Structure formats: structure tokens, C-alpha cells
Amino acid sequence: MPIIKKILFPVDLSEASPQVVPYVREIAEHLKAEVHVLFVARVMAKYATLEVPPAYISRFEEEIVKGAERKLDEFLKAHFQDLPVTARVISGEPAEEIVDYAVGEGMDLIIMGTHGRKMVERIVFGSVATHVVQQARVPVLTVKPYR
């Protein structure tokens, strides 16, 4: 069995994220693995075609990142206060950035929640978890937070 030393835990900071924490903690503690918590702020560049000045979009993205950093810090204090973690907020398309981060940082496992969306919602919004499962070069454990 491969040795798992680095676990990536992508979060969207929704009410579903805390539901996945016990799985991440249990596995990380059992395997004595390092945990990386990642939040990806969606880029807004696609709105430039709506004649929104790029400066406004850029400022809005900066505010989103700052807000996400505050929320991620609160999340870590609430759920990982006694477990050392590496935390990052980055900008981009979530599914792609998660896969890229896993490769770039040498992750051995990705643990992420799913929202259990219905087919129509997946078609409209896409599924980050599905994309990650299909594209990741490492195993992905998905946790459905609501039973």
C-alpha cells in the first residue's frame, strides 16, 4: 500500500465543509499525515465581456480573496486548532486549481466533500468533485456530508 504523508482538503467554506472535517482528521491522525486546506476563489475574468471595467473585477476578486482568508482562518481555528495544517487561498477555477495544487505540492490523497447535487444542478453548475475525481493523479476520497 502506498504511504500517505500529504492530504489535500479542498473546502468551499459552505455549511458542508465542517461535515467532512472528522474524516480528514481521523485519516490524518491515523496516518500521521500533513494536511493542506485549500480554498479556491473563482476568477471573475469572464465578466469582462459584460463591459465591466477590469479594475472593478480585479478589486472585487481581491476582496473575495481577503474575505476567504478571514473565513478560512476562522474555519481552521474552529476545526484544526490542535492539528498543524498548511492553509492557502488561491484564485482560479476550483476544480482545475485543486488538481494543479495536488500535483504541485506532491499530495498523496485528496479528501473532499460533495454536495450531492441533482443532475440538473450538476449540468448548470458543474461538479468540482466529479472533475477532481476524473482528473486527479492521486486517490480522491469523496464524502457526502449529508446522509
> For 60-85, how does the pLDDT look when each residue is reduced to its tens digit (9 = 90+)?
888 999 999 999 999 999 999 999 89
Question: Does 121 score more than 50 pLDDT?
Answer: no
Query: Under a CB-based contact definition with an 8 Å cutoff, are residues 14 and 116 in contact?
Result: no
Write out pLDDT tens, residues 33-46: 999 999 999 876 66
Categorise residue 38: left if φ over 0, alpha if ψ from -120 to 50, beta otherwise.
beta
Question: Does 135 score more than 60 pLDDT?
Answer: yes
Residue 102 CB neighbours (<10 A): 25
pTM > 0.75? yes
Its CATH class, for the domain covering 6-143, is alpha beta
Mean pLDDT for all residues in the chain: 87
Instruction: Give the distance, in angstroms, between the CA of residue 11 and the centroid of all CA atoms in the same chain.
Output: 4
Alpha helices (H) along the chain: 17-31, 54-79, 94-104, 119-125, 128-135
Q: What is the pLDDT of residue 122?
A: 45
